[in-house]
Structure 1
Amino acid sequence: MPDDYAHQQQGQIPTNLRLLVLLEEVAKAGVPVTPTALKDVLNLPKPTLHRLFNTAEAEGFLQKDIDGRSYGPGPRLRQLSLRTASSQRMRTVRLAILRSVADKIGETCNIATPDRDGMTYLDRVETHWPLRIQLPIGTQVPFYCTASGKMYLSSLRPAYLERYLAATTFDPRAPGTIVDKTALKAEIDATRKRGYATDDQEFMDDMAAIAVPILDDQDRLVSTLSVHAPLQRHDLTSLRQHVGDLQTAAQELSILIQS
């Protein structure tokens, strides 16, 4: 292993590490990348690079983006990321932070991660109230009508957000669902400026929610922390009073994943 690391430091990646380093660089980029974009970074011959990309795609670790040329994380790499994040030691601390903020607010709090088609719930701490909204771990919810999803959309580069808005059909899910693309873009812009996202009966009837970002060491959104509650207990105005509590907990979670 020391010899392998020395070779890598000199720009020569050992054969048995090439695919892992390729996946690491794709994940590090944060946006879909082409083999050409990584040629100088990996210092590999073009045929070798294309072969590695093709292998990673065939095995489900990478998948082509809609432009047909660039690649992003595939289903197996996303699952690997989720399972790594759920490792027991980290999850113990993460749940303690999540439980603390849920107890402070008195409502269910969730951590969700972006997947290809929506936000997936990674962890949650339930409220003690008998009236609660059931969204168990593993549930996937849309981007456009949830607080966590709109928080993620606000982190996209403008070109990718425009592609998403142009390609997506916004079906009404509840009385407050924003189905007009111009109005949704304005809401996402507002979310980016204020630093948190809201859901005012957009995903489910009689439910309000707020989400804040959890960031990596490059200040990129990797997941969201959110709270949701039935309107019988909290409307959006009252939930907004807890934005500071959510942001403090999200900062603690950010430090956890960066350590």
Structure 2
Amino acid sequence: MNDAESRSTRPSVQGAAALTKGLTLLQCIPELGQEASARNIQQRLGLPRPTVYRLLNTLEQEGFIEKNPLGGEYVLGREILRLAQQTMAKSSLQERVRNTLKAIGKATGETVHLGVPFGCHMTFVDKVESPEAVRMASYIGMPVPMHSTSVGKAYLAALDDSAREQYLSQLKLEAVTPQTYTSLEALREELKRTQERGYAIDDEENEHGIICFGLAVHAADGTVAGAISVSVPRYRLPDEGEAQIVGSIQELCREAGLTM
């Protein structure tokens, strides 16, 4: 091989080596579980510290990993979930909830989402489209803020005080619309109202003209696993619409054993 050929192949070799290290790191994270800190990952892989931090930073930027706001360890991110969705993987929660999503969609005639926490946001992992002409521009794998969505507020309100405060301490309360809660005091009050009424409301806080109603759902072991929401264009919501939609969500989730 001459010098020119050697130079032309060098980047691909280096790229392959970096890819191999990145994939090994991804495999390492679920193996370590709650011990998947940067230091423990470095020790497990035996790589130089700058290399590990560079890989972690790149993978986090691309959405393949995220930091768990509760424990600080790294977890697999939303991009992994999106890729899994495009193939065949279905989580146990999705399998338990799928028929309920369909039933809620049929009962309300509106778009239904299942959201689960990934890092400091929620991610839609399943969706039932409304048969109406005007539909939501959401998609499976889409990340949405916790503080401005009904799935996020329903999830936060259902957590115990300690877990909820750990999330709140790390959320970026950015204004998505003029109606978004952007202070911790206001958000805490809204979460308190959510607990009292038993469901969350996103009143055009995440998207203009859209109101959403959310209810936390539990995994088979009883832990809070995510939330279901129904999204409705405000012009399509009748006077008794909120009570009817929320009643359908609560009844169908209760029948499916998804609520405590």
Please classify the TM superposition score into its range, dividing by the shorter chain length.
Answer: 0.5 to 0.7
User: What displacement does 1:175 show?
Assistant: 3.1
Please state if 1:71 is matched with 2:73: yes
Residues 53 and 155 of structure 1, relative CA distance in 2, 3 Å threshold: farther
Partner of 1:231: 234
Deviations 1:108-138 (A, max 9, x none): 1111111113111111111111122211111
Q: Is the 8 A contact 1:216 1:254 kept in 2?
A: no
Give the aligned residue type for 2:108.
Answer: I
TM-score (structure 1 length as normaliser): 0.65
Closer, same or farther: CA 126–81 of 1 in aligned 2, 3 Å:
closer
Aligned residue in 2 for 1:30? none
Partner secondary structure for residue 162 of structure 2: helix
Secondary structure at the residue paired with 1:168?
coil
2:91 aligns with 85
Residue of 135, 140, 143 corresponding to 1:132: 135
Does residue 144 of the first structure (1) align with residue 150 of the second (2)?
Answer: no
Q: Does 1:178 align with 2:181?
A: yes
Q: For 1:1-259, list aligned pairs within 5 A.
A: 55=44, 71=73, 73-75=75-77, 79=81, 83-85=89-91, 91=95, 94-234=97-237, 238-254=241-257
Partner Cα separation in structure 1 for residue 183 and residue 134 of structure 2? 32
Q: Is the 8 Å Cα contact of residues 69 and 170 (structure 2) preserved in structure 1?
A: no
Counterpart Cα distance in 2 of 1:54 and 1:252 = 48
Counterpart contact for 1:214–1:251, Cα < 8 Å? no
Give the conservation status (yes or no) of the 8 Å contact 1:200–1:236.
no
> Matches of 2:251 and 2:171 in 1, distance apart?
33
Q: What TM-score does the superposition give when structure 2 sets the normalisation length?
A: 0.65
Helix, strand or coil for the counterpart of 1:167? coil
How far residue 71 of structure 1 moved from its aligned partner, in angstroms, is 3.4
What is the rounded CA distance, in whole Å, between the counterparts of 2:108 and 2:143 in structure 1?
24
Q: 1:223 to 1:254 in 2, by over 3 A?
A: farther
Greater C-alpha radius of gyration: 2
SS, match of residue 107 in structure 2? helix
**Maintained 8 Å contact 2:217/2:228:** yes
CA contact (8 A) 2:122 2:146 kept: yes
- Secondary structure of 1:179's counterpart equals coil
For residues 227 and 63 of structure 1, the distance between their equivalents in structure 2, rounded to whole angstroms, comes to: 27
Residue 237 to residue 164, structure 1, CA distance change in 2 (3 Å): farther
State the identity as a percent: 25
CA distance in 2, matches of 1:199, 1:120: 16
Q: CA deviation at 1:254?
A: 4.4
> How far does the alpha carbon of each residue in 1:190-248 deviate from its partner, in whole angstroms, 9 at most, with x for none?
21233211111110111111011111234221121110110110169622332221123
Structure 2 unmatched runs, 5+:
1-26, 46-51
Tell me the CA shift for residue 62 of structure 1: 8.7
Q: 1:159 to 1:53 in 2, by over 3 A?
A: farther
**Do the aligned residues in 1 keep the contact of 2:111 with 2:232 (CA within 8 Å)?**
yes
Q: 1:64 to 1:181 in 2, by over 3 A?
A: closer
